[in-house]
Structure 1
Amino acid sequence: MTSKTDARDRAIDAAQRLFRIQGYTATGLTQILAESGAPKGSFYFHFPRGKAQLAEEAIDRYVASRIAVLQNISANTKGDAAKFVRQIYETFAGEMVATDFRYGCLMQNLANELPALDAELTARVARGFADSTEIIAAHFRGCGFSSARASATAAALVAALEGARTIARLERSSAIFKALAEFSCTRLEALGG
């Protein structure tokens, strides 16, 4: 028999996966419960505010995972902006290939849907982007970039990554990540980074 905590975690994981594949609106509670195997009777015990609370927790888990990945890449490429950028693109491309191009960015998917639906979830997604962008900016500052240049470069990189995911899903190819890595690294080297 599975524990209550396990049922809760499975519901969050299923919601996260489904939001990444099909978005928030297209994902119903019945589907989340069916895919997670979580008992329907315990759902509102764990998530008294329903789907919105489940989405909050899925966003938080996704953001924590994304930040951990970025921090790991940063630690492995300390002081090297081009290597850092290349590893980010390679990591995101690898995830796209591993999921057969089915998984988009949870934050991007929700950002496209939520502003008209839920202000709190929209704010949570915005914080997730801001927090992960700051990890990238901090790495660039550690490479000697000015604060302004680090922030601008990080914002551009995040925007490029989100666009690359969309294109990769449409084309079912990771080629866009390699093209953007080459472009970004060439640009960094030309600017002395």
Structure 2
Amino acid sequence: MAGRRSDARQKMVSAARELFREQGYHATALSDVLKRSEAPRGSVYFHFPGGKSELAVEAAALHSQEQVDAIDSAAAAATSPAELVRAYLERARTNLTASDYRQGCTIAPLVIESTRDSDELDAVGGRSFETIIAALAGHFAAFGMAPDDARRLADATVAGAEGALITARALRDDAPFDAMIDVLTRSAS
């Protein structure tokens, strides 16, 4: 029984993550999460007594951890900051185009749509982006960049990825990623 409970919890977090990426935080109802996850109705308040905001915090944590894992993997295969920037941005592009321009970032809607309903929900965006930026900056520094330069490049890379996700999604064209890859890899060289 415990395995089924944790399985339902994980499915709900994954479903919420997908839905936030597709339609935003406010447009996602708990009933949408239950339908996508195929979890029993009582599961939401059993696993997430804090409701939708608690579920969103977990979805953001899952997203940022997945991003860090992907960054670590890409850094292991890269030989320079420019290669890591390219890999990070190409992964974001691939994920967006594979979803037919439907799935953006999980964290962005939580930041943009924040209504100060929950201190934890308000804080999760900054915490999640900081985790991703710190992972990139750490790898850039490991490639030999000065810490301040590594941090600036990491900030620009994440900001560029977020901007490219939004504009590419709106335009239904991945050209914004080409521009970000060109500009940021040149500045990383």
Indicate whether the TM-score tops 0.5: yes
Verify the 8 A CA contact 2:153 2:188 in the aligned structure 1. no
Q: Deviations over 1:123-172 (max 9, x none)?
A: 12211100110111111111221111111111111111100000110111
Q: CA-to-partner distance for each residue in 1:94-134, whole Å, 9 max, x for gaps?
A: 11111111011111111101153332112122111001101
- Do residues 186 (structure 1) and 186 (structure 2) align? yes
1:29 corresponding residue in structure 2: 30
Which deviates further from its counterpart, 131-140 or 2-11? Answer: 2-11
Q: Is 1:69 the counterpart of 2:62 in the alignment? A: no
- Inter-partner Cα distance in structure 2 for 1:49 and 1:187: 44
Provide the identity percentage: 36
Tell me how far 1:173 sits from its aligned partner.
1.4
Deviations 1:43-93 (A, max 9, x none): 211111211211111111111111111111111114x11111111121111
Distance in 2, Cα, partners of 1:3 & 1:118? 29
Q: What is the letter of the counterpart of residue 10 of structure 2?
A: D
Please tell me the residue identity of whatever aligns with 2:42. G
SS in 1 for 2:42: helix
Q: Which residue of 1 aligns with 2:162?
A: 162
Q: Which amino acid aligns with 1:157?
A: T
What is aligned with 2:133?
133
2:121 aligned residue: 121
1:52 aligns with 2:53: yes
The DSSP-based 3-state class of the residue aligned with 2:114 is helix
Give the aligned residue type for 1:109: P
Unaligned runs of 5+ in 2: none
Q: CA RMSD in A?
A: 1.6
CA-CA distance at 1:40 after TM superposition: 0.6
Q: Aligned in 2, Cα 1:170/1:15: closer, same or farther, shift over 3 Å? A: same
Name the counterpart of 2:15.
14
1:103 to 2:103 alignment:
yes
Looking at structure 1, the residues matched to 157 and 147 of structure 2 have their Cα atoms a distance apart, in angstroms, of 15
Output the CA distance in 2 between the equivalents of 1:31 and 1:186: 43
Unmatched segments (≥5 aa) in structure 1: none
TM-score by length of structure 2 reads: 0.93
How far the C-alpha of 1:34 sits from its partner, in A, is 1.6
Aligned positions, number:
188
